[in-house]
Structures are given as structure tokens and as C-alpha cells.
Amino acid sequence: RLPTLPASHRRALRRLVAGADAITSVGRWLGETVHAAYPDAPAPRVIPNGMRALEALEASRADIEAAAGVTLPERFVVLVGNCRHIKGQDIAVEAWALLRDAGAPVPLLVVIGGGPELDALRERAAQLALSEHIVFTGYLPRGDAIRGASLAALQLAPSRSEGQGLVLLEAGYVATPVLASDIPAFLDLIDDGANGYLFESESPADLARRVGEIWAAPDAAAATGQALQTQVRRDFTIDAMVAAYEAVFAEVSGG
């Protein structure tokens, strides 16, 4: 993503990294990208974002149903994120049309999030006659969004680009199976078929295909959610993140 930054931002970033004693990155791919752009700067050290404990969040189906304006079926799919091009909600909308047109089972898709493209997404879903298959809640507080994810049988992450992908950690924390685009940041976390699923980035057809496969095998999907939960709660804690930063600070300060 660095080449897409304005020239003034790239110059400022170059000056910043040139004077740094250490550089950190939330993901391997992002760190490699920065190092390739600024090879004379210190190689970034990967320190993933950590997850705060979320045990206090109790899923409330009634709250999510009120926000979505529908009665939720026992199994549904959720997509959480700010409605922007980079997050890929449009890819999911097109995939749902392909599922319907193929005569395949079409799960209800609950899109949680506000943002500049929310109205356009609603209009596109209406154009494709998907109103009974896709609902948009608009913005919900983070806790409610995670509650929504915890109720879902599958969470989509169709992003076109991410630095790490906090949404996958949040889904994993509550053991919701994930289907994510195969962008580098997500490849750092997801092992296809083991702790989640991947589809070809920016391909509605491949997203539709994978949804169909996953929807037909709920037990296998649930197992991937449990595997991701184990990984997230073990490896992506706030304590681990803080300890890693403290180690970097101690090293550069000579402490």
C-alpha cells in the first residue's frame, strides 16, 4: 500500500524511519513491505495487536435482531466492518446474487457497520433483489458487533487490503468460523481448512463457491472456529503484546 500514499506522506515516513532505533509492525507482510520500501532502516519487528478479554460480552440475539430489523434464523452469516471499498462488502453482495442465481442455499447475510458506502451497498442489494437475503444494521458499537459475530455460523472478511485484520481476531476470540480473502495479512493468520477458510481476493464467484461448501459442512466449520479461538486466546493477548513492546523499549534504551 505504500506506493499509494501521497508523495508528502512517503517523504515524511522516510524521514521518520531513517531516525528510528527500532520499527515495529502488526503483521509480517506489512513489515516486509515497509522494509522493502526503506531497506536502510531497521527491519521491522512483528508485534501483533492483542485482544482484551471479552468474557463480559454476552450475546443478545434480541439486540442484534432489533438492529437488523429481522428475526434471525438459527444459522446466518455476518460481515463486520466500516463500509468502505477496501473492506470488500461489495464483493459479498455480488457473491450472494451468484448463490441465489445458482439455486444454492442462500444464508441470511447480516452486514454490521456504517461508513461512506453503506447507502450504495443497500442500493446495490436492492437492485439485485437481495433484500430478503442481506440486511444492513448500520453502525453498531464494537461490543454489539462482536455479539453479532458470536451468534453467527460464519463471518466473512472480504477485505482488499489490511495491515493485520483485527476482525479475524475478534471472530476467533468468540469461536466464529471465518472465511477471509487470501490477502497477505490474512494469510499470516489463516491456514485454509484448519483454523478458517480462504477465498480468492476480489472474486465474488470464489466467495460464493466457498460459502456453499462451508454451509454444507457446519460441523467442520465449527471445528475451524474452535481452532482459531485456541490460537487467538493463546497467542494474541494484551499481555503478550505489552511484553513485546517493553522488550523493544528496553533494548533501544539500553535498559
Model pLDDT for residues 164-199, shown as the tens digit of each residue: 888 999 999 999 999 999 999 999 999 999 999 999
Same domain membership, residue 248 and residue 129:
no
Residues 68 and 40 in one domain: no
Is residue 55 in some structural domain?
no
In a domain, 142, yes or no: yes
Number of CB atoms found within 10 A of residue 58's CB: 8
The confidence band for 163, taking pLDDT boundaries of 50, 70 and 90, is confident
Is residue 125 assigned to a domain?
A: yes
Burial class of residue 160 (count of CB atoms within 10 Å of its CB; 0-12, 13-18, 19+) = middle
Which pTM was predicted? 0.90
Q: What is the pLDDT of residues 76-100, one digit of tens each?
A: 999 999 999 999 999 999 999 999 9
At position 19, the amino acid (one-letter code) is G
In this structure, the answer to whether residues 247 and 174 fall within a common structural domain is no
CATH number at residue 196: 3.40.50.2000
CA–CA distance, 14 with 44 (Å, rounded to integer): 14
CA 115 to chain centre: 16
For 145, the domain range is 61-234
Say if residue 208 is in the same domain as residue 248.
Answer: no
In this predicted structure, the answer to whether residue 58 has a pLDDT above a threshold of 60 is no
Domains in the chain: how many in total?
Answer: 2
Q: What is the average pLDDT score of the chain?
A: 91
Q: Are residues 90 and 194 in the same domain?
A: yes
Q: Measured between alpha carbons, how far is 169 from 64 in angstroms, rounded to an integer?
A: 20
Length of the chain: 255
Q: Based on the fold, state whether residues 143 and 217 are members of the same structural domain.
A: yes
Please indicate, yes or no, if residue 56 is contained in any of the structural domains.
Answer: no
pLDDT(229) > 90: yes
Is the domain of 168 the same as that of 136? yes
Helical residues (DSSP H) of 41-197, grouped into ranges = 61-68, 89-101, 118-127, 142-151, 166-173, 184-187
Angle between helices 204-215 and 218-235 (to 10 degrees): 100
Residue 40 is classified by DSSP as T
Residue 254 belongs to what H/E stretch? none
| Same domain flag for 201 and 117 | yes
Specify if 147 maps to a domain: yes
pLDDT score of 146: 85
Rounded to whole angstroms, how far apart are CA atoms 97 and 94? 5
Q: Is residue 43 part of a domain?
A: yes
CA distance 24 to 44: 5
